[in-house]
Amino acid sequence: MIITFGSINADLIFTVEDIPQPGQTLLAEQFRTEAGGKGANQAIAAARDGATVVMAGAVGQDALAEVAMQNLIHLVDVSRVGHVSKPTGCASILIDRQGRNMIAVAPGANLAACSDVVDDSLIRQASVVLLQMENDAEQIARLIQRVKQLGGKSILNLAPAIRLGSDSLSNCDLIVVNENEAEVLAGWLQCEPSVEDLSGRLNTGVLRTLGANGAEAFVNGEKISVAAIVVDVIDSTAAGDCFVGVLASALDRGLLLRGAMNRAVTAAGIVCSRKGSQSSIPLQVETDRWRPPTSHEHQLP
């Protein structure tokens, strides 16, 4: 079982020919609303890949809450999602014809989410606690500390790259970053953005996603690299979140880290070949057809 403490958003998605420049107004070719938020996206990805998932977080008491929760309520346990007075988190997403995106997020209710809803008994039942950085940093740090004290395992997706204390980072079992986030983290730690240097400074596992070049990790003193699948990129929204959710799901059901990374890059590639955010995340059987799961080498410590 996976616990996801994270953001739950409504996404406002605009399809444009080109990403606008500062001061420029463009007419969008299409507009749609979808459920989103890094926490919710990762919970959905893990659930669609076959995991049992408990979602913890918060939404508002407004019309956007229904949009934000529309997929979660059918796929995961939402009994630990609170309804607060702040507005539901919202993201404005612009996607150009090359599949690139630009995103602005208003956290809203996500900053009111309290990690105390994840009780100790639930942590003891979970194979992994999955976190991101779209909630209050103090609540994230508190939950990481409790998971460590209870002997659980945590995966932190340091996205967006909001600063968290080195002690909290080191208490995670695995930190997942993309290339930009790795650069920011390296700046804080005053080292190179390689997985080897980041892992060495934090004394924990670090995984870096590389887009079309796959992903790499440095865990327990050994490096793992996996290749991406080749797809025609239509929309990269939620690809990173899908990677993290499927990685957690694969580890939850016993795959070792290399096999979990292979599965995660496959699922993320499928997302890039489709339009949408949560709607683009593949089912378990779809990922199976691309690349059967493997189970060799490098278990998460």
Residues 265-299: tens digit of each pLDDT: 999 999 999 887 898 999 999 999 886 444 443 44
| Residue 269 domain flag | yes
241 assigned to active site: yes
Residue keyed to tokens 């980041």: 198
The residue range of the domain holding 240 is 2-7+37-87+109-290
- Residues 128-158: tens digit of each pLDDT: 999 999 999 999 999 999 999 999 999 999 9
Pick from 238, 193, 233, 242: which is nearest to 216 by CA? 193
Residue 301: asked if its preceding bond is cis (omega within 30°), the reply is no
Number of domains in the chain: 1
Tell me the three state secondary structure of residue 103.
strand
Q: Is 151 exposed, middle or buried (0-12, 13-18, 19+ CB in 10 A)?
A: exposed
| Residue 156 domain flag | yes
User: Which residue among the candidates 77, 173, 241, 252 is catalytic per the annotation?
Assistant: 241
**What pLDDT, on the 0 to 100 scale, is given for residue 66?**
96
| Residue 52 domain flag | yes
Q: Is 128 exposed, middle or buried (0-12, 13-18, 19+ CB in 10 A)?
A: buried
How does the average pLDDT of the chain come out, rounded? 93
Tell me the three state secondary structure of residue 227.
coil
- Residues 84-130: tens digit of each pLDDT: 999 999 989 898 888 788 888 899 999 999 999 999 999 999 999 99
Q: Are 169 and 204 in contact (CB under 8 A)?
A: yes
Q: What is the pTM of this model?
A: 0.91
CATH code, domain carrying 194: 3.40.1190.20
Sheet with 128-131, side-by-side order of all strands = 77-83, 53-59, 2-5, 128-131, 154-157, 174-177, 205-209, 215-219, 222-226
Residue 14 token pair: 């605009």
